[in-house]
């Protein structure tokens, strides 16, 4: 069995500095501890509230969100305000991930290939129910990004495995969904903990400084944007969201996988930078809410599951407007309009209605889901 490093997956900045070429290779250095950085004092609005999300009563109108899940038998399901609908079977093996196309009309599902280090993929057309098996096969446990037009995929394939390195290298490719033809965009190298995302602003990659097997030099670290020829560095931080005009939301962190590492939420307005993580060293940026307001999640320091914490909203002046208990997996959370959708990482899926302050539970247990606006 090929040596595999498991790395967890899941906008553009208006003014990007000169591009940084990512062609340098070399084994990452040993991980060194990160000293916590100082945090600002917490500023809370006098009207801030900590009232919890109430459980939605039976018969309460479902949010304007459609949730698609894929259960362990490979069958897809649609859940919306009309109820639950069973869809065709997509996977022959265990489903391991799902992405909704930008227009909400198709679902891309990754399926575990038991006999290989590369996962199978299939596309479900949600209007016709047709399932298309793709020739493209990404390297297991590395991220996949789907272009907004649905025509291309970006992912990693297995690269070189030089000895005595503890893990193999990978190489990045863009594949045509229809033909499976691949174009290499990153040569064989160590891409540890690397994330990919593809939005209307383009294909984006984030490389943390440190992952399970080592650390990288500063020029390899940060958020990079693909220009059709190479990835250009746009920030040292992890870009989460941008309104394309004034505000951008970032995370300052060293490692995606270190549960004790410093993780700060940063809001920029083009001129100033606000560190929103005022108490303690760790918060997760979820999304921009509009007008420079930011949504973040703060884990409960006493919780050992990594799922218990609070959702909170900040205004552009770093004042916390509300702070409500919420069980979610922050790296798998998605904001769809006024709703945050997340798995509880135990098979449960929750919808948090931010306007009505209600929590809805998806009636089908599955850790694999995607959500779109109805």
For the CA atoms of 351, 237, 313, 78, what is the dihedral angle to 10 degrees? -10
- Give CA torsion, residues 366, 119, 169, 193, to 10 deg: -20
Residue 69 domain-assigned (yes or no): yes
Q: Per-residue pLDDT for 5 more than 90?
A: no
∠ at Cα 128 (123, 129), nearest 5°? 55
Structural domain harbouring 268: 65-286+341-348+364-373
Q: How far apart are CA 369 and CA 67, in angstroms?
A: 7
Query: For residue 331, what is the DSSP state?
Result: G
Within a domain: 151: yes
Query: What percent of the chain has a predicted confidence (pLDDT) above 70?
Result: 86
Is residue 70 included in any domain, yes or no? Answer: yes
Q: Is residue 357 part of a domain?
A: no
Quote the pLDDT of residue 44.
Answer: 63
pLDDT at 17 > cutoff 80: no
In a domain, residue 155? The reply is yes
Count of structural domains, the chain: 1
**How far is Cα 310 from Cα 264, in angstroms, rounded to an integer?**
15
| Look-up of token digits 């501890």 | 33
In this prediction, residue 116 carries a pLDDT of 75
Q: Is residue 353 part of a domain?
A: no
Q: Which residue has the higher pLDDT, 236 or 8?
A: 236
Give 248-260 pLDDT, tens digit per residue. Answer: 999 999 998 887 7
For residue 204, the domain's CATH number is 2.130.10
Question: Residue 358: which pLDDT band, with cuts at 50, 70 and 90?
Answer: very high
d(CA 24, CA 27): 10
């Amino acid at each position: 069995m090929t040596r595999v490093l498991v790395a967890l997956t899941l906008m553009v900045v208006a003014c990007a500095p000169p591009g940084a070429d990512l062609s340098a290779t070399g084994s990452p250095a040993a991980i060194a501890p990160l000293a916590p950085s100082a945090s600002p004092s917490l500023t809370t609005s006098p009207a801030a509230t900590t009232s919890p999300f109430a459980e939605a009563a039976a018969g309460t109108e479902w949010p304007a969100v459609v949730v698609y899940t894929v259960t362990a038998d490979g069958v897809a399901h649609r859940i919306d305000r009309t109820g639950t609908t069973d869809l065709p079977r997509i996977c022959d093996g265990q489903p391991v991930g799902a992405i909704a196309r930008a227009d909400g009309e198709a679902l891309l599902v990754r399926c575990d290939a038991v006999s290989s280090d590369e996962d199978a993929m299939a596309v479900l057309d949600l209007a016709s129910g047709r399932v298309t098996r793709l020739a493209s096969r990404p390297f297991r446990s590395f991220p996949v990004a789907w272009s907004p037009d649905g025509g291309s995929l970006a992912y990693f394939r297995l690269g070189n495995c030089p000895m005595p390195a503890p893990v193999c290298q990978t190489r990045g490719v863009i594949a045509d969904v229809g033909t499976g033809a691949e174009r290499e965009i990153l040569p064989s190298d160590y891409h540890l903990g690397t994330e990919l995302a593809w939005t209307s602003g383009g294909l984006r990659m984030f490389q943390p400084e440190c992952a399970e097997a080592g650390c990288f030099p500063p020029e390899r670290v940060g958020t990079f944007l693909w220009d059709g020829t190479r990835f250009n560095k746009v920030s040292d931080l992890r870009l989460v969201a941008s309104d394309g005009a004034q505000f951008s939301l970032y995370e300052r962190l060293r490692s995606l996988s270190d549960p004790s590492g410093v993780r700060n939420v940063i809001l920029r307005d083009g001129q100033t930078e606000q560190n929103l993580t005022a108490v303690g060293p760790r918060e997760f940026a979820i999304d921009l809410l509009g007008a420079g307001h930011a949504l973040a999640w703060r884990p409960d320091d006493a919780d050992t599951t990594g799922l218990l914490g609070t959702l909170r909203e900040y205004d552009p002046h770093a004042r916390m407007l509300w702070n409500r208990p919420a069980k979610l997996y922050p790296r798998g959370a998605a904001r769809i309009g006024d709703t945050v959708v997340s798995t509880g990482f135990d098979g449960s899926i929750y919808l948090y209605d931010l306007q009505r302050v209600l929590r809805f539970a998806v009636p089908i247990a599955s850790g694999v889901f995607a959500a779109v606006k109805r």
